[in-house]
Amino acid sequence: MLGRILIYAAFGGMLTAAFAYMYSFFSGDTKPIKIARAAYHVGAVSVILTAGYMMNLLLTHQFQYTYVWSYSSYELHPPLLISTFYVGQEGSFMLWTLYTSIIGLILMVYSRKHHYESSIMGVFSAIATFLVLIFVIKNPFEHVWQTWPSTVKAGFMPDNGRGLNPLLENFWIVIHPPILFLGFASTAVPFAHAISGLLRKDYRKWINVAVPWTLFTSAVLGFGITLGGFWAYETLGWGGFWGWDPVENSSFIPWLLAVASVHTLLVQRRTGGFKRANLIMGMLPFLLVLYSTFLTRSGVLGDTSVHSFETPGMWVYVFLVALIAFFAAIGFGLYFFRVRDIPKQKISYTLTSREFALFLGAASLVIVAGFTLIGTSAPLITGILEGKPSAINASYYIKTNLPLAIVMAAMIGLGQLFWWKKSNSQTLLKTMRFPLTAAAVLTAIVSFAGMHDISMILFFLASSFALFVNLEIAYKIAKGKPAFMGASLAHIGIALLFIGIIASTHYDKHVTLSLSPNEPQTAFGYKLTYTGTTQLDHGQTAYNVMVQSGSSRFNAPLVMYASQYNGGAMMRHPYIFSLINYDIFSHPALLAFIGKNMLTRDLYLSPQGLEQVGESALQATQYGISIPLKLNEPVKVGRYTYTFTGFQVPESERKAMMDGRPFHLNSIIKITNDAGKIQTIMPTDEIEPNGNTKLQSVTTKAGDKFTVLDVHVNDQTKMAAITMGYLPADNSPDISLLKQAAEQAQDTKQGLVIEATIKPFINLVWGGVLVMVIGFIVTWRRRRAELMQEQAQPVSQ
């Protein structure tokens, strides 16, 4: 009940604030502002209390609440228990709302100082109102008996909750979503400022506040996305850090637009140009966050996304469409209403000006965002055009975005060398000499080393050029004004990231190994030995693979288990030898091993499954000794030599098989005795569509009984094999073979199938992003300090 009251208070507060602020803005009356401030405070405090109330329910295990029951349990440790707050649909919206409310409190103080509070906070309160409306429509504090009225009795208190999905039970769920959602929430600030600028016909000053916030969004969202990529690489075993999945793309697109906006805003600051473009660019990240939320939460992606979100029901769909329509209509409506009024500043620039490089860079970012958006919306587009939603292949993104990435990399280098307005070609050539030579030499070396793909060579050349240009500039700035090196740091980061992407995704090598217990195999210079299993907590099993390089060796526990939570599905976790490996704390010896082998490449070991090894092993079954036979490979057991020569399937049976009806399969086996006498038998199996097999044995004149126990056809290699049961006639000397087979059966071991991958220079991906984020933060701090100064001594601009 308390939860509902808090939600209504929050909604009432935010709605009142939105109307009071807007009334004040349009009427020019300053009196309602006081009401609006009080109302916003009521709203924000209620949101904070609502979140606190939810957190309290989770921490005190109030399983009578559906949300608490659905995502948490007694077994969860505090950090994971806290993370259940935002694991579900309602909770993640609540986290977004919480951030938005708190950002609004900060924004209120800012905008008040700068005398544009009513318009900014009017828009911002409207956004907060809509977010709170989600909880008015869908109560997050529903009791279990309200959710499942037909199966759960009123007042029922479950013993325990369902718990957290084991896939999410790790450190990353604690850190990745809170950072990502902070990035999402922060996009509302530039949006509110752009709208406020349009409302006030102030097309210049709004950007002063928007710049630091856009930098903040770029840093936070960029960092959050990377954490997600690292999570996928490190724990989920997807093999890579990026899969172009809609859920990944949906945070990538707003980030691209925020970064593009950083660049176009810079042009406006320096030259006064791009006023119209910047208003649109200020709105887009927020609108795209809304659109992405719609794509990934409403269920429109259907079964085309790997991330299966729960099917949320119609209300989310309708609500999110209304939300996008509302804010897009306000934004674009106002823009088109004002567009004639926006002064056009002609900026005269040449092809070798920094403005042009910034424009090209930003344009590339926007086009990448556009291509990615279209690809992500493919299920929606094809659903409308073809009637059946289908996802696009990941190759689409690479094909469309690669040329743009090359342009971007080139501009990251050139843009820093160009001057504003026009560059002196003499100086330009002089400054280009070092980075261009260095990049060309490096590219020549790597193409000798095996990079032959022309698009990769171009991408590498442009990226390394960008790297050397920015390294040189960063070095110069660091000696003078380190506070100004943010841009070159961010660009160094991007250049490193690009090189890391080329190396780790285009030049990775992988091999699938079937490891028999204690029989070493060599891959990529490492000796890999499957040494056995270790039982872990929660019914999970580690399959230990000893990895040896030179004299040093280390055990890699590859984890596989059937997850009860996910309906018994098999979960597989890789083990990665990389510079980022926490096991060095428990195993200091690992440090030397990693330092020696993993500086330039990761070894990624991913478990695939278990299989019976020792195919030649005879086994004792109720049908006698089981003998595996490969096509046309004679096998001698006891008195006879057996050759499996193929199957015989009549046409009628073939049709039955394709129609899914029971069908008969005859296996042809040639039996040769010591005297060279040949006899051919054809045991028949009747295979029903439900997989049950009726075996029909063949008894020879000598009294030996043969049965085909299993049929095995490799569709790719066309290799057929069968397992034949052989029951010798009574008192046959072969009976001793049965004993032998029984003994061998006990020795039968399970082999481990793993995929070993070498990821060259993947550390450049992580390192690059880190440097880039630091660059954003350095610039953000500088712009914020400038803003503070401007506010301290209001200068008329």
Axis crossing angle, helix 117-137 with helix 2-27, rounded to the nearest 10: 150
Nearer residue to another protein within complex by CB, 690 or 746: 690
Angstrom distance (rounded) from CA 144 to CA 277? 50
Nearer residue to another protein within complex by CB, 318 or 569: 569
Rounded to the nearest whole angstrom, what is the least distance from the CB of residue 539 to another protein in the complex? 7
Rounded to the nearest whole angstrom, what is the least distance from the CB of residue 607 to another protein in the complex? 9
CA distance to 218, 519, 766, per residue, from 617 (Å): 60, 17, 48
Nearer residue to another protein within complex by CB, 18 or 758: 758
- Cβ neighbours of residue 395 under 8 Å, at least 6 residues apart? none
Nearer residue to another protein within complex by CB, 130 or 359: 359
Q: Which two tokens stand for residue 476?
A: 């110069």
DSSP annotation of 157: -
Nearer residue to another protein within complex by CB, 386 or 747: 386
Rounded to the nearest whole angstrom, what is the least distance from the CB of residue 646 to another protein in the complex? 15
Rounded to the nearest whole angstrom, what is the least distance from the CB of residue 717 to another protein in the complex? 6
Nearer residue to another protein within complex by CB, 191 or 530: 530
Residue 175 burial (CB count, 10 A) = 15
Distance separating the N- and C-terminal Cα atoms of the chain: 52
For residue 349, give the 3-state DSSP assignment.
coil
Rounded to the nearest whole angstrom, what is the least distance from the CB of residue 34 to another protein in the complex? 45
If you write DSSP's letter for every residue of 702-769 in order, what string do you get? TS-EEEEEEEEE-TTT--EEEEEEEEPPTT-TTHHHHHHHHHHHHH--EEEEEEEEEEETTHHHHHHH
What does the CA dihedral 19, 23, 25, 27 come to, rounded to 10 degrees?
A: 180
Q: Which two tokens stand for residue 725?
A: 């049961």
Angstrom distance (rounded) from CA 558 to CA 653? 44
Q: Which two tokens stand for residue 442?
A: 């490096």
Rounded to the nearest whole angstrom, what is the least distance from the CB of residue 685 to another protein in the complex? 11
Rounded to the nearest whole angstrom, what is the least distance from the CB of residue 690 to another protein in the complex? 4
Rounded to the nearest whole angstrom, what is the least distance from the CB of residue 753 to another protein in the complex? 5
Rounded to the nearest whole angstrom, what is the least distance from the CB of residue 76 to another protein in the complex? 10
Rounded to the nearest whole angstrom, what is the least distance from the CB of residue 517 to another protein in the complex? 14
Integer-rounded Cα radius of gyration of the chain = 33
Nearer residue to another protein within complex by CB, 595 or 689: 689
CA distance to 122, 184, 707, 795, per residue, from 372 (Å): 32, 18, 57, 42
Angstrom distance (rounded) from CA 250 to CA 92? 15
Nearer residue to another protein within complex by CB, 374 or 457: 374
Nearer residue to another protein within complex by CB, 717 or 796: 717
HEC string for 44-90 = HHHHHHHHHHHHHHHHCCCCCEHHHHHHCCCCCCHHHHHHHHHCCHH
Nearer residue to another protein within complex by CB, 144 or 220: 144
| Contact between residue 300 and residue 380 where contact means Cβ atoms under 8 Å apart | yes
Q: How far is CA 433 from the centre of its chain?
A: 40
Residue 22 burial (CB count, 10 A) = 20
Angle at the Cα of 584 from the Cα atoms of 582 and 587, rounded to 5 degrees = 125
Rounded to the nearest whole angstrom, what is the least distance from the CB of residue 524 to another protein in the complex? 16
Nearer residue to another protein within complex by CB, 170 or 791: 170
Nearer residue to another protein within complex by CB, 586 or 692: 692
Angle at the Cα of 67 from the Cα atoms of 61 and 73, rounded to 5 degrees = 40
Q: Which two tokens stand for residue 166?
A: 């084991």
Angle at the Cα of 129 from the Cα atoms of 125 and 135, rounded to 5 degrees = 150
Rounded to the nearest whole angstrom, what is the least distance from the CB of residue 145 to another protein in the complex? 8
